Amino acid sequence: MSLVTRNVLIALFITAALTGTVAYAVNYLNNARITELGAIEDQLSIDTLSLDTQFSLLEAAPCDTAASSTAFIGKLADLGTRLSYAESQLGIDNPQVIRLKQQYSLLEIRDYLITKQLAEACGTKPVTVLYFYSNAGDCADCDKAGYALSYLHDTYPSLRVYSFDYNLDLGALKTFIAINKVKNTLPAFVVNGKKSYGFTSLEELEKQFPKGALATTTSKL
């Protein structure tokens, strides 16, 4: 076998090995992503059923369910983080990601409604933030606003933050936006019923909260 032939065969072997490795890696990552999306979908289904049950319990003994509703917000935030990761990996136009975002948005709206009912029935004073964003490239400050809200939630775990894609094609969300009279000027915030638009800094965002609201919200610090 000539030196040229041997070198060609070695090159072919290396190319085939690299191609096979890349194909295996891509297939592995795709399977991992599918598994993660499946896990998110399963958890959304379980949590949706859990909230439906809480609504039923609320009719009979509202204040007895307040603690479980408060504990639920941490799980909701974790699901949101996992969904955001899946969106960044698969793209905002991925059909399965869109479907999961729709389910997640419905879950957020349900939790927000039960929180309001508990507040009225039990005299609680939760601090809630409705955050409306867009990832269609038309909101330069939405990422910074999202990071600021994540920081506030991490600092004050009982702060209830609900994030919504303003442009998501979901009838219930469009109705929710209309009821709250939120304009398409993003990022948009509704803090305990008070609307504000735009984001400049964490300090300015904190000023949107009612005086003393964060001070009375449990802090990790």
- Residue 66's nearest CA partner among 109, 107, 125, 108 is 125
CATH architecture for segment(s) 127-221? 3-Layer(aba) Sandwich (3.40)
Those residues whose C-beta lies under 8 Å from the C-beta of residue 4, and which sit 6 or more positions away, are none
What is the model's pTM? 0.74
119-144 pLDDT tens trace: 887 788 889 999 999 988 899 999 99
Angle between helices 3-60 and 66-90 (to 10 degrees): 160
Whole-angstrom Cα distance, residue 138 to residue 121? 40
Q: In the prediction, which pLDDT does 18 show? A: 66
Angle between helices 95-122 and 171-180 (to 10 degrees): 40
DSSP E strands in the chain: the ranges are: 128-133, 160-165, 188-191, 194-197
175-219 pLDDT tens trace: 999 999 999 999 999 999 999 999 999 999 998 888 777 765 655
Whole-angstrom Cα distance, residue 85 to residue 69? 25
